[in-house]
């Protein structure tokens, strides 16, 4: 039987108990450091750093704990957690794990743990590929299985709470209403699942083999598709790719990642594990060869987008990912040229080297050493000052909320600009409470400029400034395509959508309904129906007396309505 299906170590029931305690305590600490009620205003950098450190240390301990060399794990886990926490604190970004730098840190940790597991098993700094491959895939399977088990435990806990609540026993329901109690359950459940599954290593390894085998059978589909795509480019040209620069790079990089995963699923952890089917082997080779051209096209697309719209942290991170993809592509292509169908042994050797390089690079990228925020800020401000991008097209929200401290410093400088429009927009962005508020300000300014050029009837009527602002804020006029008709000068007006009066109606897909009536009230213009004047006290007494004796009559009332070309439009007006 394949040695990969054998348990690496005898069962250890106490491990589950240890991991339950570690998981519960770590989850509670993280929850207390990142209180949900603080989410709307963000956490302090030190709290986020401590939570990151505790979480990483607990996970590294759980995945790394074995019966051999326990002291190694007890030293490695806190050291890795301390390193992760210090990097997060250095970044100074609350909620940093949800950023690109946080993703780099997660990637580095995910690579470091299986490398440590192998070194722990070997008792020295030795990294046999079969063991690294086995631990890496097993950790992925464990991660998914543990979260699945945790989800079931949480659902079961709340179901039992509701069950007992039906008979008036609310203790469990009340207890689960606290965030800290849910954190305890999640941490303990994850630790229990990890400990129990680690004691069933043979089953997990078998599941890992099933997952990789299933993924391997997808290799021919993706391999043929990517080769056909690349062969089609000389005939279709690249222009269509550049027309879709927003999605070109993400789609291509997703294909690159998929190609790498499926190719490695086929070649396995060693010669005995490699797929024997010629179709699968050729498919893996095709996937490896396709990585480089796809990465190069993605790099060109990213370069074009940066040339058009300048640098942003997201684009620089995307460019970094593309650079790694090109590096992978070069290595895989070189191995394919040298080894052809025997390239798998070369790739397995190079995968270890690439993994070590990626881990180091991930740790460096998780820090603010490269300063993507500062680079992006300088580039965008230079584009603004040179006139390459106008003030009304400039992304003020990104400068205020996406570029960190460099963006805030640049915004403070732009508020003192000699250009009045730049200074005003920078001041508005600096005072905004969120990025969406900046976007709303710019949209409202554009709408007011569009509304200022609306057609107003009767011709020559002046559009009041407060009505113009009200119409712009209401978003009734798409790109200013409206006509304003005053029923009573400076007191009553209706707004009509021009698209409703074309043949066929250009706005037929919308509800072209009735014109919108605006009235001037004491506090300015507003949409609504003017109500009839309320009678005074004497009139009310007279009305009620007549009602009692049945004195009622019908009178003809003259009302007003808009006519366009003799055709009535909308309701009547008082």
Crossing angle for the helix pair 179-198 and 45-64, to the nearest 10 degrees: 30
Burial 194-212 (b: 16+ CB within 10 A, else e): bbbbbbebeebbebbbeeb
* Contacts (Cβ under 8 Å, ≥6 apart) of 314: 100, 402
**Cβ atoms of residues 347 and 332 within 8 Å:** yes
More confident call, 143 vs 570: 143
Query: What is the percent of the chain with per-residue pLDDT over 70, rounded to a whole number?
Result: 86
pLDDT one-digit tens code per residue, 424-476: 888 878 777 776 666 556 666 666 666 666 788 888 888 887 887 777 777 67
Q: Is it the case that residue 281 has pLDDT exceeding 60?
A: yes
Of the ranges 47-61, 98-112, 253-267, 437-451, which one carries the lowest mean pLDDT score? Answer: 437-451
For residue 152, give the H/E element and its range: helix 129-165
The per-residue pLDDT of the chain, averaged, comes to: 81
Instruction: Identify the pLDDT of residue 75.
Output: 93
Q: What is the rounded average pLDDT of the residues 312-335?
A: 89
Residue 529: is its pLDDT beyond 70? no
pLDDT level of residue 146 (50, 70, 90 thresholds) = very high
Reply yes or no on whether the pLDDT at 247 is more than 80.
no
Which among 487, 414, 423 is positioned nearest to 456, based on CA atoms?
487
Closest of 484, 486, 495 to residue 517, by C-alpha = 495
**What pLDDT sits at residue 155?**
94
Helices (H), 237-312: 239-243, 245-267, 278-309
Q: pLDDT-based confidence at 58, cuts 50/70/90?
A: very high
| Residue 61's pLDDT band (cuts 50, 70, 90) | very high
Mean pLDDT value across residues 556-570? 77
Least confident stretch, 22-31, 298-307, 326-335, 437-446: 437-446
Q: Which token pair is 35?
A: 């209180």
Would you say residue 562 has pLDDT above 90? no
**pLDDT confidence of residue 176:** 85
**pTM of the full structure:** 0.69
Band (293; pLDDT cuts 50, 70, 90)? very high
pLDDT tens digits, residue range 257-272?
999 988 888 887 777 7
pLDDT of residue 44: 66
The per-residue pLDDT for 188 is 93
Per the listing, tokens 């507003």 go with 526
Reported confidence tier of residue 6, pLDDT bands at 50, 70, 90: very low
Residue 508 has pLDDT above 70, yes or no: no
């Amino acid at each position: 039987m394949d040695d990969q299906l054998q348990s690496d170590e005898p069962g250890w029931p106490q491990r589950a108990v240890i991991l339950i305690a570690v998981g519960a305590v770590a989850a509670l600490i993280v929850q207390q450091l990142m209180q949900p009620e603080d989410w709307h205003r963000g956490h302090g950098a030190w709290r986020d750093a401590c939570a990151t450190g505790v979480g990483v240390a607990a996970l590294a301990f759980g995945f790394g704990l074995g019966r051999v060399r326990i002291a190694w794990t007890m030293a490695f886990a806190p050291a890795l957690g301390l390193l992760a926490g210090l990097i997060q604190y250095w970044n100074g970004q609350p909620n940093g794990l949800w950023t690109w730098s946080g993703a780099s840190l997660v990637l580095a940790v995910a690579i470091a743990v299986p490398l440590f597991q192998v070194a722990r098993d070997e008792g020295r700094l030795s990294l046999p590929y079969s063991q690294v491959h086995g631990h890496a895939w097993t950790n992925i399977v464990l991660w998914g299985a543990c979260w699945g088990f945790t989800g079931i435990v949480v659902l079961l806990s709340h179901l039992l709470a509701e069950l007992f609540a039906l008979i008036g026993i609310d203790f469990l329901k009340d207890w689960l209403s606290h965030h800290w109690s849910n954190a305890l359950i999640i941490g303990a459940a994850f630790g229990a699942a990890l400990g129990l599954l680690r004691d069933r290593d043979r089953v997990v390894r078998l599941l890992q083999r099933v997952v990789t085998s299933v993924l391997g059978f997808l290799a021919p589909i993706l391999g043929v598709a990517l080769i056909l795509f690349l062969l089609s480019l000389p005939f279709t040209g690249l222009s269509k790719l550049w027309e879709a620069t927003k999605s070109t790079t993400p789609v291509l990089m997703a294909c690159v990642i998929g190609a790498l995963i499926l190719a490695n699923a086929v070649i396995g952890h060693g010669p005995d594990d490699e797929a024997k089917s010629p179709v699968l082997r050729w498919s893996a080779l095709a996937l490896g060869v396709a990585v480089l051209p796809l990465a190069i096209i993605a790099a060109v697309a990213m370069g074009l987008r940066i040339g058009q719209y300048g640098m942003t942290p997201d684009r620089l991170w995307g460019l970094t990912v593309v650079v790694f993809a090109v590096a992978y592509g070069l290595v895989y292509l070189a191995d394919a040229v040298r080894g052809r169908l025997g390239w798998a042994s070369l790739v397995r050797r190079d995968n270890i080297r690439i993994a070590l390089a990626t881990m180091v690079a991930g740790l460096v990228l998780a820090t603010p050493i490269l300063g993507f925020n500062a680079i992006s800020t300088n580039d965008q401000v230079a584009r603004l000052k040179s006139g390459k991008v106008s003030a009304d097209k400039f992304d003020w929200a990104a400068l205020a909320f996406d570029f960190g401290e460099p963006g805030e410093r640049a915004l403070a400088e732009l508020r003192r600009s000699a250009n009045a429009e730049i200074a005003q927009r920078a001041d508005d962005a600096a005072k905004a409470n969120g990025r969406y508020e900046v976007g709303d300000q710019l949209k409202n300014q554009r709408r007011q400029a569009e509304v200022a050029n609306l057609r107003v009837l009767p011709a020559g009527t002046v559009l009041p400034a407060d009505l113009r602002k009200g119409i712009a804020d209401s978003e009734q006029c798409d790109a200013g395509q409206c006509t304003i008709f005053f029923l009573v000068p400076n007191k009553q007006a209706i707004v009509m959508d021009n698209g409703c009066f074309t043949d066929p109606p250009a706005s037929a897909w919308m509800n072209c309904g009735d014109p919108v009536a605006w009235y001037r009230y004491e506090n300015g213009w507003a949409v609504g129906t003017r109500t009839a004047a309320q009678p005074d006290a004497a009139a009310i007494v007279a009305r009620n007396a007549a009602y009692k004796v049945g004195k009622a009559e019908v009178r003809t009332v003259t009302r007003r309505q808009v006519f366009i070309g003799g055709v009535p439009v909308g309701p009547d007006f008082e």
